[in-house]
Chain A
Amino acid sequence: MRSVLRSSRALAALAALLVLAPVALHAQDTTTRGVRIGLSYDPSGKPGVVVLPVSGAGGDSIAAIVSRDLDFGDRVNVIMLDAASAGAAARASVPNWALLAKLGAAAAVQVTPTASGLHVAIYNVATKQTARIRDYPAPSMHATRAWRSAVHSMSDDIELALTGVRGIASTRVLFERGRRLWEVDSDGEQLTALTTAEAPGSSEWSPDGRSIVYNTYTPSQIVVQAIGGRPRVVAAGSGVYISPVFSPDGSSIVYAHGVDDGVDIYSVPVSGGTPRRISIGRGSDNVAPSFSPDGRRIAFMSGRAGHPEIYTMDADGTNADLLTPLDIGESAYRASPDWAPDGRQVAFQSRIAGTFQVMTVSLRDRGLKQLTSDGSNEDPSWAPDGRHLVFVSTRSGTRQLWVLDVESGRTRQLTRGAPVRLPAWSPRLAGD
């Protein structure tokens, strides 16, 4: 199945080579940051890239990781070499331009392990020139977590060089499984348990990716924890504490809390202090805050109209406004908003024909877009590129994490095994 996909992708790139190679280079020049959301994106319009065989210790791993990182980024068409091509490419002391052109590559990436790390050359196949050379630090012990992080970080920089947009390989996804919090690399590797706390609920990353915040049920509280550090309670008491997030400046924790008179959204300094109520729910339930990237607005879900809907309000709780258009007929159930990193749309889950699907709503024109239809799909969380979403789906039979490229519609399964809940995609992480 996979090899069929690879060869068909390579064929597509090959067929389109003459037309597409200049397009790819043009895109590299003009795209500086982000992607125009809503742009109709032809998957075959992506530049073809060959990751050349890597010699030396861990060479095969490096080539495989970089290829997969670029592939998962969905901005280039990674052309996999068959054994004969790989052998021919490996034997060549200079880039085999004819072979690369024949494979439909607009660019080729050559990684060479050195004493201090990894040396990367990027070749422009159309001009038959070396487009860029750069060295990256990496631990000498390959296959360790730190080494994998260094390779992912290098992949992201290669993607930046190829497409103008930094990749998301050096990110992780946080989620709940079996009453514990776990994190997994964006490529599905390095699954690690993060907390020993019983029954964690939803969790979120700090803006610098060095800490997380989560709620627990028993006792009912909000906990901040540095990665690798000890948990610290920032809010606790009777009733429920739900869905904490960091403010974009990292200075405060915003969460939902309620005892006997509805649930409202509160804010408390990360360093601790007296919580301040933000939302004015008048006895209704108001949960799941998500900040706009500039920190000025908060999207949240509220039952104030009798059924759960997505609203926005100013960060101080004023100017609350219904974001999702009111449905006629079946009472809507819209939940779990997550504001996109580019600020232009909010992802959420909506009940459609009795089951949940992931949707987006545009901040500009309130236009709705349904992104999923296979199984039940819940709890979307944006990757820092504003283009990929991770969410919980039952499409494989159990609740697992899936990643969707909202531009191309391509999906991949991120977790397997015991059921999971409540994913949170990290910001881009510095190497650890």
Chain B
Amino acid sequence: MTNRSTVLALLVVASVGIAGCRRTPPAAAPAPTPAPDNSAQARADSIAAAQRRADSLAAARAAEARDAAARAATQRELADILSARVYFDYDRDALRDDAMATLDQKAAVLQANTGVTMTITGHTDERGSDEYNLALGQRRAAQVKRYLVSKGIDGARLTTQSMGESQPAVQGSDEGAYQQNRRAEFDARNAGSLVRPGA
């Protein structure tokens, strides 16, 4: 067996040790023959090189993970903007200031992501006629759509529907529950990889 083959064997053992299991310390493989004088240095060098390669790989993976986390955070943030509910006053379909602020953010995300389409669902609280509340929910969804279209969003990307009082967000027969239930909800499609507005 030559020195060269010994070094290669050690290198393979070391690499497998490092790559295979971090917790195992670099093992001193039993050498079949006594090592020459320069072999210790070469062995250390090769171990260091393997370590550097592993470190750089880990660094690259970490950076990738950081980027992915950042992208996921952005995705979540933008998806949250798209799904944020808007709320209404009793028996009204007029948009309040807080609703318009929410819709302005949505419009910006929709502008930056032209492939995204959305279903807008209007809901009402439990008071009043079931039948009229279905119409009121539809009117709320349509009002939201009109506002988004006024902000430059293609109306063909926006579908409206109403659930009336049939799907309350929260149970209860007090104003707190009523306010949570007088809302429009948003369901976005093709929104898997959202781009931040202005990016």
Contact = CB atoms under 8 A, between A and B. Distances in A.
Contacts of A335: 128-129, 131-132
Contacts of B130: 201-202, 379, 421-422
B129 A336 contact: yes
Nearest to A422: B130
A259 interface: yes
Contacts of A183: none
Nearest to A355: B127
A386 B131 CA distance: 23
Nearest to A376: B127
Given A217-B164, A240-B161, A240-B162, A260 B134 contact: no
Nearest to B163: A217
A239 interface: yes
B138 interface: yes
Contacts of A258: 135, 138
Contacts of A262: 139
A199 B163 CA distance: 10
Nearest to A215: B134
Nearest to A263: B135
A339 to B, nearest CB: 15
B129 A242 contact: no
Interface string A317-335: 0000000000000000101
B160 A239 contact: yes
A201 B165 CA distance: 11
A238 B160 contact: yes
A357 B130 CA distance: 15
Given A217-B163, A220-B161, A262-B139, A242 B131 contact: yes
Given A201-B134, A239-B138, A260 B160 contact: yes
Interface in A191-227: 199, 201-202, 217-218, 220
B146 interface: yes
A301 B128 CA distance: 12
Nearest to B141: A260
A96 B182 CA distance: 66
Residue of A240, A287, A421, A422 with highest tally of chain B CB at under 10 A: A240
B3 interface: no
Interface string A235-269: 00011101100000000000010111111000000
Interface string A377-415: 011000000000000000000000000000000000000
A113 to B, nearest CB: 45
B134 to A, nearest CB: 5
A301 B130 CA distance: 12
A335 B135 CA distance: 12
A398 to B, nearest CB: 11
A201 B142 CA distance: 21
A260 B146 contact: yes
B166 interface: yes
B132 A287 contact: yes
B54 to A, nearest CB: 54
B160 A288 contact: no
Interface in B122-165: 128-132, 134-139, 142, 145-146, 159-164
A308 interface: yes
Given A217-B166, A240-B138, A258-B138, A202 B131 contact: yes
A201 B139 CA distance: 18
A333 B142 contact: no
A238 B136 CA distance: 15
A285 B136 contact: yes
B129 A263 contact: no
Contacts of A256: 131, 135
A43 to B, nearest CB: 32
A349 interface: yes
B142 A240 contact: no
B91 interface: yes
A427 interface: no
Nearest to A300: B131
A356 B132 CA distance: 14
Nearest to B139: A285
A381 to B, nearest CB: 13
A308 B128 CA distance: 10
A303 interface: yes
A239 B128 CA distance: 20
Given A201-B134, A285-B132, A333 B91 contact: yes
A101 B162 CA distance: 62
B73 to A, nearest CB: 33
A201 B160 contact: no
Contacts of A260: 142, 145-146, 160
A195 B163 CA distance: 19
Interface in A127-148: none
Nearest to A199: B166
Contacts of B136: 285
Contact of A238 (B131, B135, B139, B159): B159
A218 B129 CA distance: 19
Q: Which 3 A-B pairs have the closest CB atoms?
A: A335-B129, A285-B135, A260-B142
Given A217-B162, A240-B164, 11 more contacts: A201-B130, A238-B160, A239-B162, A258-B135, A260-B142, A260-B145, A287-B131, A287-B135, A301-B132, A308-B129, A335-B132
14 contacts: A199-B166, A201-B131, A202-B130, A202-B131, A239-B162, A242-B134, A243-B131, A258-B138, A262-B139, A288-B132, A308-B128, A308-B132, A335-B132, A379-B130
